[in-house]
Chains A and B, each alone.
Chain A
Amino acid sequence: MSDWHTSTLTQLAAGLRARKFSSVELVRAYLDRIDASQAALNAFISVTREQALADAAQADRALAAGAGGALTGVPIAHKDIFCTQGVRTTCGSRMLDNFVSPYDATVVAKLKGAGAIMLGKTNMDEFAMGSSSETSYYGPVRNPWNPQLVPGGSSGGSAAAVAARLVPAATATDTGGSIRQPAALCGITGLKPTYGRVSRYGMIAFASSLDQGGVLTASAADAALMLREMAGFDANDSTSVDTPVPDYVAALEQPLAGLKVGLLREFFDKGLDAQNEQRVREALKLYEQLGARLTEVSLPNLPLSVPVYYVVAPAECSSNLARFDGVRFGYRCENPRDLLDLYRRSRGEGFGAEVKRRIMTGTYVLSAGYYDAYYLKAQRVRQLINADFTRAFGSVDVLMGPTTPTPAFAIGAKTSDPITMYLNDIYTIGANLAGLPAVSIPCGFVQDLPVGLQIVGPHFSEARVLNAAHAFQRASDWHTRVPQGYA
């Protein structure tokens, strides 16, 4: 069989269980695709070929014995922000270039427990700070639809890998859009769960109150399968929520008729590319045909998302990244003169420009005399945005709109202008501030580049959101498109 890579994760898992092919064959085929693509896409920071093949052999033995979990033998990749025991975990930074994690993140352990085989660690914006995967110490990731363009970020490596079918699924994280935005720009499905649904333990923190682990896949059904294994309360993460994990896969086929969809007025603003808007409107029309009822809703405080985010996230990051001090792990400068020199040069040489910019911004907004004006005020506005969402979900089941204002942009086009870059997350940040589950699914193309439709639901409504996404994917084929050269 040579068309494994066009199969879905769900199909592969079923094929393995039915022993139509072996995990070793499958893993080897995907590893070969990764190797062949690396020069063009730079989607991976580390490839763990030997371990993967050994794990696959073991998976085959388990499958032969009739044992095994939901994902036994299925190849996946982890964003290099998740700690993986015995495997280098860099977070895309020179600071952690030499860091081999002594433990597995909870997400990694859970997927391992379900039988998934890790093929490697994907490239990303340094410490997940970026919207283009250009700030990585390991060089930019390229978009499989056009290597001159960015794949989005920060989970650009995971997104490019899934889009190019180098793996059927990859983990990712989303602080302000880092799953959904690259999903949109790469033409795949990206799910950011409710804050607290997936454990953050072992996920290197960027902004703790916003970070949430999720997944990038080719379809909503695959995302449901992955989430079912990743989600759940973790005693190691005080912010994870102890509420039962529903069977997201079983909920996929529920009828859509009567679904109340709110169109986010604030998302159809002047920054939205006209053709991008056109694709989104067409998708909404399809939803209407599927039985959904569309109404327009307004979240008046939502336009404040970006400024709020760029106070809260840097504030938390400035503190979270203080542990990278050259003392216990990670990069340490050569021949420090004294303690201050050790700190200054280890951090000065270990961190890239965007990370430094955010640490400085965050340090500033938390400083005495500025705290009230920035951090406290931002938190208050965050409450208002939250309240807006709560009000909206009083009358609709889900909210829909574009994931991004435009399709993928050129590498280097926005690197010199941080504000323009930040505005790329204008539609995605709201869900992070309010801790809501959201998915981006492909809904068409603009000049041969994919664009995404975003679906946001109330807290812990992943089943509903995935159900809505799946219904759309049963009625369309955008999600089955594979970039030229990778089909």
Chain B
Amino acid sequence: MSAWETVIGLEIHAQLATRSKIFSGSATAYGAPPNAQANLVDLGYPGVLPVLNAEAVRMAVKLGLAINARIAAQSVFARKNYFYPDLPKGYQISQYELPIVAAGALDIVLDDGQVKRIGITRAHLEEDAGKSLHEGLPGVTGIDLNRAGTPLVEIVSEPQLRSAKEAVTYMKKVHTLVRYLEICDGNMQEGSFRCDANVSVRPAGAHKLGTRAEIKNLNSFRFVERAINYEVARQIDILESGRAVVQETRLYDPDRGETRAMRSKEEANDYRYFPDPDLLPVVLDEALIASVRATLPELPDQKAARFASQYALSAYDAGVLTASRELAAYYEEVVRELAQEPKLAANWVMGEFAAALNKENLEVGSGKLPPARLAGLLRRICDQTISGKIAKEVFETMWSGGASADAVIDAQGLRQITDTAAIERVIDEVMARNPAQLAEYRAGKDKLFGFFVGQVMKATAGKANPAQLNELLRRKLAG
């Protein structure tokens, strides 16, 4: 038992999947040439005004409903004032005192199977900033404002996470959720889903929170885990040597695997928040909230519970299959064709199928191996046309070639031998070729049974039906 307790809160920034920006009509698509998607509003030109994107509001409400949060009847946009070249107006429009979503929660499953509820303090709407470019621009700084004004929802957790692992589990849960809700594409490389981690440690059992450091802009689950672990070790080190942790903003350097101070307190900004007079309060009535509620899909937890009961799966299997909406849909398509074998389908979807996707870095929805095809293969295991082992070979051929299971089985002559007479014929040949082993077996060396199974399988290229073979072989060997 460690003498220190880790306390972590996450601020997750999810980019909302609206087509246009939160306060302007510019497109939000990723990867356009610098400033090609920045209009006069995004550039903060004199005289321009923001107009709120209603779709962004609906998406935030959707999130709020999915985490059982309070949806504010009235929320207010505020200006966060600071100077930076990638912040065209000199202020970021965000929400401060009155966020659109407050007091929600998400359940996560810990390693020991326990369910832990993580409180979500608030989720608010805000605009993203642009970015500064240095590469290939000697002596000057370039500014790309394509990202400026991109809608974000910032999801702030309570400081209830107790380890890097819990933090990652929680972040993955949020990641799954926003993709289920189709409010964020979840693309972490492109920065669509990232977080700031507030990390502190305190003596185990203490009530008062320790001084925290905020690690900014973590854009992969691995970095979150490593950065927090590094930071926790660093803080414990400081405390154990009798010094004090400094409250500051830190950056994680993935190359060195360490966090570094970014801004010290002396440079800390006073953001001078005040309600943005250019925007009216966002007033949401019950009708609008109800109309958003009607668009909520089956949520990950609901789906996992249904999978477990409907398909008699373990909680673990149900969790894996519902980790993405696409995988869950794929699984259900397979099961629809193969209603009597949901467990077999689960094993194959989580096993061969997921591994094959992973290997080629493909998405479930890539269209490679439609679910009906996989079901076709599994059907041939069920009706004993092929064994499970042969099925894996057939799967690989199907994966690379695109043919149906039956076509592959026929073309390669993989059909399982279930004809008793044919199997007996092979057994007889094998027994005739191995008189010494036969004698030993009959003298009581039972272990040699496996040797004979192997020989028959070899002679039939693995196609003999294993159950039939066992029975026939046992009878024949007995003499």
Instruction: List A residues at the B interface (Cβ < 8 Å).
Output: 82-83, 89, 91, 96, 99, 101-103, 105, 200-205, 207-209, 235-239, 315-316, 318-319, 321-325, 327-330, 339, 343, 363, 366-368, 371, 375
Contact = CB atoms under 8 A, between A and B. Distances in A.
16 contacts: A96-B46, A102-B40, A200-B49, A205-B46, A205-B47, A236-B48, A237-B51, A238-B52, A319-B81, A322-B83, A322-B90, A323-B44, A325-B83, A328-B44, A328-B45, A329-B45
- Report, nearest first, the 3 A-B pairs whose CB atoms are least far apart: A322-B90, A366-B272, A209-B277
A323 B46 contact: yes
Interface in B276-309: 277-280
Given A323-B46, A323-B88, 19 more contacts: A91-B46, A101-B46, A101-B47, A102-B40, A200-B49, A201-B47, A201-B48, A203-B47, A235-B51, A236-B48, A236-B51, A237-B51, A238-B279, A322-B81, A322-B89, A323-B45, A330-B46, A339-B141, A343-B83
Nearest to B51: A238
Interface of B: 40, 43-52, 79, 81, 83, 85, 88-91, 141, 143, 270, 272-274, 277-280
Given A91-B46, A205-B47, A319 B272 contact: yes
A157 to B, nearest CB: 18
Nearest to B271: A368
B55 to A, nearest CB: 15
Contact of A319 (B50, B90, B143, B270): B90
Residue among B51, B83, B274 with the highest chain A CB neighbour number at 10 A:
B274
A239 B77 CA distance: 13
Contacts of A207: 277
Contacts of B88: 323, 327-328
Nearest to A339: B85
A136 B50 CA distance: 28
A194 B431 CA distance: 105
B376 to A, nearest CB: 54
A319 B274 contact: yes
A236 B49 contact: yes
Contacts of A202: 47-48
Nearest to B270: A368
Residue among A89, A203, A205 with the highest chain B CB neighbour number at 10 A:
A205
A366 B270 CA distance: 9
Given A102-B40, A209-B277, A323-B90, A238 B46 contact: no
B57 to A, nearest CB: 13
B260 to A, nearest CB: 20
Contact of B274 (A99, A237, A375): A375
B276 to A, nearest CB: 8
B46 A237 contact: no
Given A343-B83, A367-B272, A375-B274, A323 B89 contact: yes
Residue among B47, B51, B91 with the highest chain A CB neighbour number at 10 A:
B47
A330 B81 CA distance: 20
Contacts of B143: 327-328
A325 B47 contact: no
B47 A238 contact: no
A375 B274 CA distance: 9
A237 B50 CA distance: 7
B90 A325 contact: yes
Contact of A239 (B48, B90, B141, B280): B280
Nearest to B41: A236
